[in-house]
Amino acid sequence: MSQPRERVVLVTGGADGIGRRIAQTFAAAGDAVHVCDSSASAIDALVVETPTITATVADVASASDADRVYADLAQRHDRLDVLINNAGIAGPTAAVEDVADADWDRCIAVDLSGTFYMTRRAVPMLRKSAAGVIINIASTAALFGYPLRSPYAASKWGMIGLTKTWAMELGPEGIRVNAICPGSVEGERIDAVIERDAKARGTSPEDTRNIYLRQTSMRTFISCEDIAAMALFLASADAKRVSGQAIAVDGHTEGLSNSQ
Ligand code: NAD
């Protein structure tokens, strides 16, 4: 059992995308970082690049996998200081009457139930921290209605409900809970979403991309670094009075209406 002075940080879905950047940012800050991710190959690539990061292959939508992650973590550390619930999938792009049961169930299972399973198991370990922090990576989809993305919007709004509820439940014990609501991150994930969205609305990917850009006052997508920087701040002592908040990092989204 190690006795680290650094924080112990767990990042779900931490092997790729935003989670990977968050994991590497905390590791670079000197924290002991453990990630869980459903992709063994992405984990392999991450630990080759950043060997100080430890990892468990796990599907957050499975309560027994969540148990396994914490069993792994407990073998290495006697506490947890920061849990970052980042694992998430985009779910289908479809009109409400066309959403398949399996697509609805899987999106809710990963994005919402996964957040619950991972947090439920984290709380006893966070209680042993001097300054426990939970950060839920939600989305601007948690702040607006999001046509054609019913399961994703439901999951992400649900994450804000959990953020505020857990901030109230755990605040008296000094555990802070916040959500970050990222705008669209430049990269393959948003390219795939735009591609599907363009098909669904019968327009070109370029036109759809411009619709997305016009949704923000700053006419911008964001980077994984933007989210990692906000996560690092929210986990820091500078944010010691910040809890129960849903903080957008998105160039100011004005709305997610797909009819613009
Ligand atoms: P990504 O697909 O690039 O990476 C997600 C990571 O999570 C991958 O490593 C994947 O293997 C892992 N993962 C997926 N399902 C999992 C599961 N069931 N259990 C464990 N790990 C799993 O995604 P991203 O763009 O980095 O998104 C990360 C989070 O940020 C998600 O919750 C997403 O909803 C949210 N978000 C992303 C954007 C965006 O534009 N990329 C915008 C707003 C919110």
User: For residue 141, what are the CA distances in angstroms to 15, 144, 161?
Assistant: 23, 6, 13
User: For residue 72, what are the CA distances in angstroms to 7, 76, 126, 144?
Assistant: 17, 7, 16, 38
Q: Give the residue whose CA is nearest to atom 6 of ligand 1.
A: 13
Kindly give, in sequence order, each residue whose CB lies less than 8 Å from that of residue 49, ignoring residues fewer than 6 positions away: 24
pLDDT above 60 (res 259): no
pLDDT above 70 (res 4): no
Handedness of CA 243, 247, 249, 252 (dihedral sign): negative
CA of 89 relative to ligand 1 center, distance in Å: 5
Return the residue matching tokens 């042993």. Answer: 128
pLDDT above 80 (res 239): yes
**pTM to 2 decimals?**
0.95
Q: Rounded to 5, what percent of the chain is helix, strand, coil?
A: 50, 15, 35
Residue 172 identity (one-letter amino acid): P
Nearest atom within ligand 1 for CA of residue 18 = 26
- From first CA to last CA, the distance across the chain in angstroms is 56
Containing 85, the helix (H) or strand (E) segment is: strand 82-85
Nearest atom within ligand 1 for CA of residue 184 = 40
Q: Of all residues in the chain, what percent carry a pLDDT higher than 90?
A: 90
| Residue of 57, 83, 85, 89 to mutate, ligand 1, most atoms within 8 A of C-beta | 89
Q: Give the residue whose CA is nearest to atom 42 of ligand 1.
A: 184
pLDDT tens for 23-47 read 999 999 999 999 999 999 999 999 9
Q: What average pLDDT score do residues 111-130 get?
A: 97
pLDDT tens for 186-237 read 988 789 879 988 998 899 999 999 999 999 999 999 999 999 999 999 999 9
Distance, in Å, from the CA atom of 85 to the CA atom of 60, rounded to the nearest integer, reads: 9
Specify whether the CB–CB gap between 130 and 172 falls below 8 A. no
Q: What is the side-by-side strand order in the sheet with 8-12?
A: 54-57, 32-37, 8-12, 82-85, 133-137, 176-182, 246-249
Residues with CB under 6 A from ligand 1: 12-13, 15-19, 36-39, 42, 59-61, 86-89, 110, 114, 137, 139, 182, 184-185, 189-190
Nearest atom within ligand 1 for CA of residue 19 = 26
Distance, in Å, from the CA atom of 154 to the CA atom of 87, rounded to the nearest integer, reads: 16
Active-site annotation, residues = 152
Distance, in Å, from the CA atom of 14 to the CA atom of 4, rounded to the nearest integer, reads: 21
What pLDDT, on the 0 to 100 scale, is given for residue 67? 97
